[in-house]
Amino acid sequence: MRLTDKAGHALSSRIFAVLIGMAGSFILFAAYLVIPPAGIFSGLLAPFPAAYFRFRYGRGTGLIIILGATAAMTAYFGLSAGTFYLVQCGLISLLLPELLLRGFGAARSIVWTTLASVLLLGVAVLFFSITSGQNVHQMAVSEIQKSVAQAAGIYEKSGVKGEELALLKQTMATAADLVIRVYPALIVITLIGMVGCNLALLRRFTAGMGFNLNID
């Protein structure tokens, strides 16, 4: 194969990787937004396409995938969703591979990536609060209560009535109060789970690429 043919093939492979990575990450995160709570499992895996292709084709490819998926998320779901994707998935996709390639072990990679994600999320929330004048905590509380009310309405329409419905509403209200108290911790736990899942996938799918990763 001539040099020009090799260069053309390499470029085509990178373009294909970018398109596949963008589509895969977009679909996984879109499912997380559209079909909760089942979509939470796909949301955990949304950083993986960009992280994987960063190993395979370099930092630039991973960055393009993140920026492209962020643009697509913003165009389809709005600016809030695009920002949410960038904060939650973008940093993990870019930082986790860099730490692994610099010899960080599994535990240190998870800790530092999670800490960076929490810090970035905190900055994003603070910036949103200042620029919009809205109370983010109150917004979260309202969304939780709205979800509980919708769930209760579904049960009521399905035929649950009387004392059984009242008990169900009371139980769901108690659960909602608990979630409101602990949701910051749940966010951190979710980020830890996301980083851990993607690290496990990277360990599995980069095994034959010749990288000497310290994650055994």
Burial class (CB in 10 A: 0-12, 13-18, 19+), 185: exposed
C-alpha separations of 148 from 137, 145, 169, 184 in Å? 17, 5, 8, 18
Number of helices (H) and strands (E), helices first, in the chain? 9, 0
Residue 104: per-residue pLDDT: 92
CA dihedral 121, 125, 131, 135 (to 10 degrees): 170
Q: How many CB atoms lie within 10 A of CB 19?
A: 12
Residue 139: per-residue pLDDT: 79
Residue 174: per-residue pLDDT: 82
Cβ pair 52, 28 in contact under 8 A: no
Cβ pair 74, 90 in contact under 8 A: no
pLDDT digits (tens, 9 = 90+) for 40-66: 788 889 999 999 999 989 899 999 999
Among 97, 27, 102, 105, which Cα is nearest to 62's? Answer: 97
Residue 23: per-residue pLDDT: 93
- The verdict on pTM exceeding 0.95 is no
Q: Give the DSSP H or E segment for 43.
A: helix 40-45
Residue 38: per-residue pLDDT: 63
pLDDT digits (tens, 9 = 90+) for 150-177: 777 776 677 767 777 677 778 877 877 8
Query: Average pLDDT of the chain?
Result: 84
Return per-residue pLDDT of the chain as tens, 216 residues: 454 555 565 678 888 889 999 999 999 999 888 886 666 788 889 999 999 999 989 899 999 999 999 999 999 998 888 988 998 899 999 999 999 999 899 999 999 999 999 999 888 888 878 887 778 778 777 877 777 777 777 766 777 677 776 777 788 778 778 877 887 888 889 899 999 999 999 988 888 787 778 776
Residue 12: per-residue pLDDT: 82
Does 49 sit behind a cis peptide bond, omega within 30 degrees of 0 on the bond before it? no
Domains of the chain and any CATH numbers: 3-205 (1.10.1760)
Residue 24: per-residue pLDDT: 93
Residue 2: per-residue pLDDT: 57
